[in-house]
Amino acid sequence: MKIRKSTLQSLALVGSLSALSSCSEQRLPYQNPDLSADERALDLVSRLTLEQKAQLMQDASEAIPELKIQKYNWWNEALHGAARSGKATVFPQAIGMAASFDPELLEQVFDIASTEQRIKYIEARKDSNVSRYKGLTVWTPNINIFRDPRWGRGQETYGEDPFLTAKMGRSVVVGLQGHPDEKVYAGASKSGKWRPYDKLHACLKHFAVHSGPESERHYFDAKDLSLRDLEETYLYAFERLVKSTDVREVMCAYNAIEGEPCCGSDKFLTQILRNEWGYEGIVTSDCWAINDFYAGEGHHNIFPGDAALSSANAVLSGTDIECGSSYKALPEAVERGAITEADIDKSLFRLLRDRFRLGEMDDDALVSWNHIPLSELASDKHAAVALQMAHESLVLLQNRNNTLPLKGANLKNALIGPNAADSVVMWGNYNGTARHTTTVLEGLQQALQAGQSLTYQMGSSHVTPNVFESCIGQCVAPNGQAGFQVKYYNNVVIERGKPFQLGEVAAEVQLTSPWQLSTGGATVFAPGVDIRNFAGVYETNYHATRDQDMVFDGFCGGAGAFIVNNDTVAQFFALHGARSSKATVSMKAGEDYNIKLLFAQVNGDAQFNFNLGIMQPVDYKKLLSDTRDADVYVYVGGISPLLEGEEMKVPYEGFKGGDRTNIELPKVQRETLRQLHATGKPVVFVNMSGSAMGLVPEVENCDAIVQAWYSGQAGGQAIADLLLGKINPSGRLPITFYRSHTDLPDFHDYNVEGHTYRYFRGKVLFPFGYGLSYTTFVYGQPTYADGKVQVQVTNTGTMDGTEVVQVYLKRDGDVDGPIKALRGFKRAEIKAGESVLVEVPVEDLRTFNPETGKMELISGAHTLFVGSSSAENDLQKLTIQL
């Protein structure tokens, strides 16, 4: 049932509803599950105080016991699987899944993600404590347009094309929320009297024009935007998904548009989103975005120091719920006359309605979704889908002389590179904790046949010309044993900026090598240690035999510090996922150093990865000598989610605030590949990144190049399967790979001209939609009729394969419009030697009408381009008349 404005304007309905209560306890209308979510929400709004309303409009919504409203947290993540809440199936990062060009498989991925997130909620509900990351409202998908490869959060998107983004985004929304007729969990007992509740709620973000720079997002103003760019690019996917799905949430962005912060933009949130598009769901702020309205320098600061006016402005503009705590000032705003309680009621109604729609207010006995068994979490069945998506995400960019697949009964492989044995790089950001993550090293070790061999060398770090050499084995703990002596404590009290309050020792262990500890999947750090409210003190002593710089390398989800001789050299307090924490300490020959590491669980799952060691200079002569017997070099490099991402501190050349200042491969990796190429042996480069890389020298120095993204828990197995020919690659680039960042406009320039394949007029390295196969495909002459393109595609090679047929549109005579724009695609599995008639629906023939400022069907001649990528030489043309 859709709520009408007239319904909101009249609360007289509430009185009549009370007659429907027939329980002996005088059950109130909002407690009656037989009423609609709209009716229940209207009744409950009428029973709340102003202070309670403000409390419910913050992401951390506290319980109201007198009304039997439970605690709930709106902030939950599922970017590529249930995230930040322990054990889950970890799929490839969003940009990698976009490379699959497989909306059907993507919908299956997010059906799994919603199942696992619902399980998180079920388990948390047992303790009556649905905390952050354990709720039913997930803040995904990110459907911003990846306009510039320097943006660090572009990895979270579905690429640079608005149509592809809309197609994939729809699969995410439907996968998470379910089809409209799927309101009951099919696996639940049929004897239950189930109500038709929603499984989960998705959220389109970040509305509406948002793609960096990360370091300026709290004050950046995207201005001087044309109507064409807004309608054709930045608003396109949002509009299509709002109009074609029942998506329940939209998140407004941090930045401003034309001088107004997105979360305070009446034009975008009310006039466009609600009035023009008919959106009736919730708008949530990005986290602490309202704080940017008043927080001083480095923020929008349109209401200096005034949280009340800022909150009123946001609510009146259309932001219903705040991630943060500024909305606690709403009662003050009402008192000052900046907003009325009736205005607040409109937003609160929407929030409560959706809590009722999810069954969050009702008993488990009525909610079939709350009967999904725990055995579904991170199951083998779900792992198989993660592997399939990892397979489809991989893009073969180059394969000179058919270097791949690797062949030979006695093949000797040398595996080199900073990403070859790294599990963290597989996860991307906003990730869950997999039961097991397969690295490329492990994947190849498992896949090689008898007689084939593999040697491994790290080669260098990602950015610096060094190799990390662990010194943990040279440390002696206070108990006289090698490594670190660790004491764990339960029931600790941790407050930011204050010393840990520890009790009795709960467990004591010895760690003699680098460790990776996580409470994901209800795994304790050590026997006797609790999952929550625990801390550890890790202590050892190190004797320096020479002057050296000791590196403390941590990846931490929790709170803590690194302490040397009672001096704190680093502190961390990571509440939302794990973050890199590092320190370098200069040590003098002959001196002793006492080292203590403090770590505590503070929010959700804890994670503590740590190594202690020395950075040794790269020795290319030794590297080549140690691998001289190899027949082929497999180099697994690129960058890492520890280098690109959301508002990060990255102190390396080429990186700034989570973004990149150039798109080239780091110099040390570029030099390593040059040295490997100089041996004359084949070089296979597996590049991991969440964004496009400028690989001009690598195209010359590498015989084969695979773009692997951040490929999830099964990434290592998928890559090994591709390298050894167990699968035929089928991924296609959802972004353009440019030759250099110098070919692009300024990063701050939001004009689409000069950005993406649709408006870039220079020479590219690898075009949008591009990807090679181990077989070859030949296209017949395409035809168009009844809104569909048909084309005969023949597999002329010797291996079964999958071709992605793509259809692009150009309105003839539109001189200011895109060169071409994707309007349809279809994956086609074709056996070797066979031909298939592939039918591709052309789903949107609208183009921008400069006279109306809208996307419309415009009569006249249009050109369709049909082929295997956006490159001109991969396409055939046909003209159609509208």
Taking the CB of residue 725, how many other CB atoms lie within 10 A of it?
14
Q: Report the alpha-carbon distance of residue 143 to residue 741 in Å, rounded.
A: 23
* Options 345, 644, 703, 721, the catalytic residue: 644
Structure-token pair, residue 266: 């009446």
856 annotated active-site = no
Query: Can you tell me whether residue 740 is helix, strand or coil?
Result: coil
Are 767 and 733 in contact by the 8 Å Cβ rule? The answer is yes
Q: Which two tokens stand for residue 818?
A: 């895109």
- Please state, in angstroms and rounded to a whole number, the distance separating the CA atoms of residues 674 and 631: 17
Backbone angles phi, psi at 191, to 5 degrees: -80, -15
CB 172 within 8 A of CB 106: yes
- Which of 633, 743, 609, 789 lies closest to 698 in space, CA to CA? 633
Distance CA 93, CA 142 (A): 12
Alpha-carbon distance 495 to 473, whole Å?
A: 33
CA atoms within 13 A on the CB side of 183: 13
Q: How many C-beta neighbours within 10 Å does residue 475 have?
A: 22
523-556 residues labelled b (16+ CB within 10 A) or e (exposed): eebbeebbeeebbbbbbbebebeeebebbbbbbb
What CA–CA distance (Å, rounded) separates 416 from 675? 12
Quote the DSSP letter at residue 874: G
Closest CA to 322 of 138, 60, 577, 64: 60
Q: Which residues fall within 8 angstroms of residue 276, CB to CB, at 6 or more apart?
A: none
Q: How many CB atoms lie within 10 A of CB 338?
A: 21
Q: Three-state SS for 274?
A: helix
Q: Put the strands of the sheet holding 260-261 in their side by side order.
A: 221-222, 256-257, 260-261
The token duo for 135 is 């709720």
Q: Which DSSP category does 3 fall into?
A: P
Q: Report which secondary-structure segment, H or E, holds 823.
A: strand 821-830
Closest CA to 92 of 425, 347, 407: 425
Q: In one letter, which amino acid is 864? A: L
The CA distance from 216 to 218, in Å, is 6
Could you give the CA distance from residue 175 to residue 104 in angstroms, rounded to a whole number? 9
Task: Classify burial at 374, counting beta carbons within 10 Å of its beta carbon; exposed 0-12, middle 13-18, buried 19 or more.
Answer: exposed
Look up residue 356 and give its two tokens: 């009722």
Residue 810: its H or E element: strand 801-811
- Angle made by CA atoms 72, 77, 81, in degrees to the nearest 5: 130
**Rounded CA Rg of the chain:** 28
Catalytic-role residue among 160, 286, 322, 703: 286
Residue 223 has a CB neighbour count (10 Å cut-off) of 12
CA-to-CA dists, residue 774 to 477, 540, 800, 857, angstroms: 54, 53, 9, 40
Is 392 an active-site residue?
no
| Strand-pair category, 453-457 with 655-656 | unpaired
Residue of 142, 317, 156 whose CA lies nearest to 241 = 142
Tokens representing residue 348 in the block: 């609160």
Are 483 and 539 in contact by the 8 Å Cβ rule? The answer is no
Q: Which residue has the tokens 């943060």?
A: 324
**Catalytic residue positions, numbered:** 286, 644
